[in-house]
Structure 1
Amino acid sequence: MTTSRGGDGQSSVEVGTFIKTPSAHIVEILAVAGLDFAVLDAEHAPFDFGTLDAMLIAGKAAGLPLFVRVPDFQPSTLLRSLDLGAAGVLVPHVDTPEDARNVVARCRYKAGVRGYSGGSRSSGYGEKGMLAAVADAESVQIMCQIESIEAVDNTRAIAATQGVDGIFVGRADLALSMGLADSQHPDVLKATERAIAAGVSQGKRIGVVASSLEERKRYSDLGATWFLHGSDQSLLKQAARALVRA
């Protein structure tokens, strides 16, 4: 999946949400709603690889690009997520350029260490052939999460790492790394803006969580184009509360 360009040459906004409920029906419903992408949250939600498999089948059938937010960036975790056919990975706690280089190497065959299987979904169950499958792996999207002060300080170098497609600022953990329990604290917002500017300077995709349309506009003006609005859980809760209030 690549970010499209508008007529003014600027990157167009892509809108998605986290999926935390292990049900393929959720994928189908969100695809019908017209989202650009969604992220299966295997870091904080109860997804095993069997469930991810079913969810990614649903995404492929429904035409909804699905990323996997992996719980770690161990080689086996990245390998299995990508072999199942994820459009990309959202990788937490990438704090240094070395972390970023390791992530890229574990996601790529060329100049990397990803193990190859011709029998996986990503390789078309053997129909693509090795040459085509290896080439296709170069288009897998790698988004590195910036969620510590160390990562903010290293954002420019992380974003500049060859093979990294973008950075995603995780403000909750960033706040905790600063000794705060408020992702909207002015110091957290300043650090977020600093990370965004560093990513923009390298021409990479910039992602953030947007809690409102106003917040999305604010970060879009700073150069962010990849927005996650809550999750399937929060969207359901908001709709239910609206009914109760009505």
Structure 2
Amino acid sequence: MKTSNSSISRAQIGTFIKSSSVHVIEILGLTSLNFGVLDAEHAPLDRSTLDLLMLAGRAASWPLIVRIPNTAASTILSVLDIGAAGLLVPHVDSAHQARSVVEKARYRGGERGFSSSPRAARYGTLNMQQCLNAADNTLIIAQIESEAAVESIEDILAVDGIDGIFIGRADLALSFGLDDPKHALITRVTESAMERARSAGKIAGIAVGNIEERDTYAALGANWIVVGSDQSLLRQAAQAAASSQVV
């Protein structure tokens, strides 16, 4: 499918961060990428590391979302307290799970413990009402990674506080008994899920491995696209440089 420049310009483009270097954050913050996603699910990023990377993101004026490793209240609290721009939540299979995450991320009507001391409260310089308002606007995106999630997708999208969905094609394929995230069935399910997200006026997100896939899914309506990671971008650029050597 041919992609128009407008479909790309309408989409927010980011990448996963899997390394613990603050310099990577500084450098990527100088690009035109709209955001980064600190991958605490699949990369060795503990709370102290996330805190340093978040500080680098603030210095670079580059928004950082955290893909959390679990949905424990303490995990969500710590990630938001250090100043994450939002949460990418793996394996949300039902509206009940989605609602539980929102409650843990909210002060008003939720379970999040309040403190004016962390970075999210600007170290005591925001008053309580400002902190509560900021928490109400925290970005929360649910990952759709199972057949059960696909069946519940409209209910998940309807949860107040869920800003959109993010398709995890690899785990989705496993859920359907497949070993290929690009299988025709997964592609159909992905396109249908994104269409339903757009119809609900919410984020239709996806992870892709390269620019060609980015353009393909932008043309299909994806509006929040994570292209590879700091690791893959480095590896691909290095390999391209090595392959271009003049003999």
The TM tier, using the shorter chain, reads: over 0.9
SS in 2 for 1:218: helix
**Contact 1:105/1:114 (<8 A) preserved:** yes
Mapped to 2, the partners of 1:34 and 1:196 lie a distance apart of 24
**Contact 1:11/1:225 (<8 A) preserved:** no
> Which stretch of structure 1 is more off in the superposition, 97-106 or 193-202?
193-202
Mapped to 2, the partners of 1:32 and 1:83 lie a distance apart of 25
Alignment correspondent of 2:40? 42
- Given the alignment, which residue of 63, 66, 69 partners 1:68? 66
Matched, 1:152 2:150: yes
Which amino acid in 2 is paired with 1:195? A
SS in 2 for 1:53: helix
Alignment correspondent of 1:113? 111
**Contact 1:118/1:126 (<8 A) preserved:** yes
Distance 1:177 1:21, change over 3 A: same
Alpha-carbon offset, residue 156 of structure 1: 1.1
Mapped to 2, the partners of 1:27 and 1:147 lie a distance apart of 28
**Contact 2:211/2:227 (<8 A) preserved:** no
Alignment correspondent of 2:76? 78
Which amino acid in 1 is paired with 2:207? V
Q: Determine what percentage of the aligned residue pairs are the same residue.
A: 49
Mapped to 2, the partners of 1:140 and 1:243 lie a distance apart of 40
Which amino acid in 2 is paired with 1:134? L
Which consecutive residues of structure 1, in runs of 5 or more, have no partner in the other structure? 1-7
- Given the alignment, which residue of 88, 100, 103 partners 1:102? 100
* 1:189-204 matched pairs, under 5 angstroms: 189-204=187-202
Which consecutive residues of structure 2, in runs of 5 or more, have no partner in the other structure? 1-5
SS in 1 for 2:30: helix
SS in 2 for 1:209: strand
SS in 2 for 1:168: strand
Which amino acid in 2 is paired with 1:152? V
SS in 2 for 1:179: coil
* 1:196-215 matched pairs, under 5 angstroms: 196-215=194-213
- Given the alignment, which residue of 164, 167, 177 partners 1:166? 164
**How does the TM-score come out when normalised to structure 2?**
0.93
Alignment correspondent of 1:4? none
SS in 1 for 2:116: coil
SS in 2 for 1:17: strand
Alpha-carbon offset, residue 119 of structure 1: 0.6
SS in 2 for 1:132: helix
Alpha-carbon offset, residue 223 of structure 1: 2.1
Matched, 1:220 2:215: no
Distance 1:95 1:11, change over 3 A: farther
**Contact 1:152/1:194 (<8 A) preserved:** no
Which amino acid in 2 is paired with 1:167? I
**How does the TM-score come out when normalised to structure 1?**
0.93
- Given the alignment, which residue of 24, 30, 33 partners 1:32? 30
Mapped to 2, the partners of 1:219 and 1:95 lie a distance apart of 23
**Contact 2:208/2:214 (<8 A) preserved:** yes
**Contact 1:165/1:204 (<8 A) preserved:** yes
Mapped to 1, the partners of 2:28 and 2:215 lie a distance apart of 22
Structure 1 residue runs of 4 or more that deviate by more than 3 Å after TM superposition: none
Alignment correspondent of 2:135? 137
Alpha-carbon offset, residue 215 of structure 1: 2.2
**Contact 2:210/2:228 (<8 A) preserved:** no
Which amino acid in 1 is paired with 2:36? A
